[in-house]
């Protein structure tokens, strides 16, 4: 198994640097948490390794900001997208923002040493699924590996790697009994649910189900590391 990093995470002395919500979008401040740092022997480590799984909701555009700021802060960001997600924003955008290939199928970027993206999962310090559709949430809680996102997630070591899920859907989908059951199952399995928030939705409704804002997603990742 790949050696895991010990990243500084959000220690209380670092927290005092984040007084304004906008500070969570400031790459310079974020680099203290996500950027390369020296270990106790003075050796330089690479930045935090963050795996971001993107599924097919309109809130995909907000994740561009998350990835851009994390990459600027020195994090090693790897993105995987479901087929539906690629209909909203192209993989090229995420490849350019992260500086790494964006995975869109279980059948690409296969290496003989990593035929099922297991080592990609192994070397992640934290995982964020954002936006997480009602469909992908259902797949995750039922152990289905029908997209590259849920396949990689299935190889994550839950004892060492925090998994954050940011649901995004309209208010009717959010309150569906099946979806509410799935949220409870996801929490019981140890996933950290971030949001959703209330407000205006792309479907012209006003209600619960908006994905959390980029600054809130980055803050949640910092707390989880």
Ligand X SMILES: Cc1cc2nc3c(=O)[nH]c(=O)nc-3n(C[C@H](O)[C@H](O)[C@H](O)COP(=O)(O)O)c2cc1C
Instruction: State the minimum distance, in angstroms, from the CB of residue 105 to ligand X.
Output: 12
Site for ligand X in 37-96 (CB under 6 A): 55-59, 82, 84-85
Q: Choose, from 92, 172, 202, 203, the residue flagged as catalytic.
A: 203
Asked if residue 56 lies in contact with residue 88, where contact means CB atoms within 8 angstroms, the answer is yes
The dihedral of CA 145, 7, 183, 136: what is its sign?
negative
The yes-or-no answer on residue 64 being catalytic is no
Residue 210 CB contacts under 8 Å (≥ 6 apart), including other chains: 59, 168, 195, 196, 197, 198, 199, 200, 201
For the chain, what's the residue count? 225
Pick from 76, 133, 191, 212: which binds ligand X (CB under 6 A)? 133
Rounded CA-CA distance 130/79 in Å is 11
Give the other-Cβ count within 10 Å of 116's Cβ.
14
Q: By C-beta, is 48 or 54 nearer to ligand X?
A: 54
Instruction: State the minimum distance, in angstroms, from the CB of residue 117 to ligand X.
Output: 17
35 binds ligand X (CB under 6 A): no
Please give the structure tokens belonging to residue 60. 């995909």
Instruction: State the minimum distance, in angstroms, from the CB of residue 58 to ligand X.
Output: 5
Positions marked active-site:
203
The residues that touch ligand X, with contacts defined as CB under 6 A, are 55-59, 82, 84-85, 133-136, 147, 168-169, 173
């Amino acid at each position: 198994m790949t050696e895991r990093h010990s990243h500084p995470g959000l220690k209380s002395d670092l927290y005092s640097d984040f007084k304004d919500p906008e500070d969570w979008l400031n790459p310079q401040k974020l680099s203290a948490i996500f950027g390369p740092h020296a270990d106790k022997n003075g050796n330089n480590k690479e930045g935090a390794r963050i795996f971001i799984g993107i599924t097919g909701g309109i809130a995909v555009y907000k994740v561009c900001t998350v990835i851009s700021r994390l990459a600027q802060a020195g994090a090693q960001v790897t993105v995987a997208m479901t087929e539906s997600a690629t209909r909203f924003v192209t993989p090229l955008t995420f490849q350019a923002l992260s500086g790494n290939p964006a995975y869109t199928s279980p059948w690409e970027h296969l290496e003989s040493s990593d035929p099922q993206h297991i080592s990609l999962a192994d070397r992640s310090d934290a995982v964020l699924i954002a936006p997480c559709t009602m469909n992908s949430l259902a797949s995750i809680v039922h152990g289905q590996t029908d997209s590259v996102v849920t396949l990689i997630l299935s190889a994550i070591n839950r004892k060492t790697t925090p998994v954050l899920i940011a649901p995004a859907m309209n208010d009717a989908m959010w309150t569906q009994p099946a979806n509410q059951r799935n949220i409870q199952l996801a929490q019981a399995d140890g996933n950290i649910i971030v949001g959703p928030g209330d407000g205006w939705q792309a479907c012209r409704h006003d209600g619960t189900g908006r994905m959390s804002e980029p600054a809130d997603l980055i803050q949640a990742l910092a707390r989880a590391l």
